[in-house]
Structure 1
């Protein structure tokens, strides 16, 4: 079974879009394996976005993701989804820039800004494992590996 991490970012929570976003994933056949409404602290944000350190948008990104609560979740795909779960989630989410995101995608329908773009989704198995462990610790990470 494929697992991935999705974050409904502060703008999604502030705008009351979390239910709609979660419903889109569920209607696609993905299930919620873990869910937490939380404020992401600076240290966790720095670790999560480490690959962007030093880039001009890094500091504004940290300020944004830590400004108010997010909803962090682990999604499971069907047994035969495997690595396709990342493609499925990213197709539902849409392009990073909402102006370029296709209608029918989360960002295409609800996104306003490239920097406040509602949702994060892991882009690979390696990223998902790292991100799930970062946000949910070894319990979910270990369970995810054991279920495969």
Structure 2
């Protein structure tokens, strides 16, 4: 079972898209094992985006992700990272396929409504930034055998 962090970004929260975004991930068969509404402070944002430190857009990233509340979650399922990323669509919404979250709900690369982990290592790191292990609840749903084989 693989896990991925997702962040429903401030633009999506302000636009009332939380339910729509979570619904799309759940409909794919992913199971939410952690979920919370929070406001990311600068220190946490810097740790989350550490790989981009020194890049021209770093300050813009920090300013945006700390500009309003977000919903952070952990999804679990077979190939959860790949499934989440395909469901999200390409980072640039102009290049994202229709039917993806970004392809349908976003217009700007700077405000692209959702973040998802891009590798198992990154997922483990990101999840540890936002959740303690005791905040994650693994469980089995009755439909899992139909979704996960």
The reply to whether residue 48 of structure 1 matches residue 29 of structure 2 is no
Q: 2:102 aligns with which of 94, 107, 126?
A: 107
Structure 2 Cα separation of the partners of residues 131 and 139 of structure 1: 16
Gaps of 5+ in 1: none
Q: 1:85 aligns with which of 80, 96, 103?
A: 80
1:126, distance to aligned residue in structure 2 (A): 0.5
Question: Which residue of structure 2 lines up, in the alignment, with residue 116 of structure 1?
Answer: 111
1:137, distance to aligned residue in structure 2 (A): 2.6
More helix by share: 1
Question: Which residue of structure 2 lines up, in the alignment, with residue 24 of structure 1?
Answer: 24
Q: How many residues align?
A: 138
Question: Which residue of structure 1 lines up, in the alignment, with residue 128 of structure 2?
Answer: 133
Gaps of 5+ in 2: 139-149
Question: Which residue of structure 1 lines up, in the alignment, with residue 91 of structure 2?
Answer: 96
**Could you give the per-residue CA deviations for residues 87-118 of structure 1, whole angstroms, max 9, x where no partner exists?**
11000000111111000000000112001100
- Cα contact 1:132–1:140 (8 A) shared by 2: no
Q: TM-score, normalised by structure 2?
A: 0.89
1:86, distance to aligned residue in structure 2 (A): 1.1
The reply to whether residue 4 of structure 1 matches residue 4 of structure 2 is yes
1:2, distance to aligned residue in structure 2 (A): 1.1
Structure 1 Cα separation of the partners of residues 122 and 132 of structure 2: 14
List 4+ stretches of structure 1 deviating above 4 A: none
Structure 2 Cα separation of the partners of residues 41 and 126 of structure 1: 23
Q: TM-score, normalised by structure 1?
A: 0.89
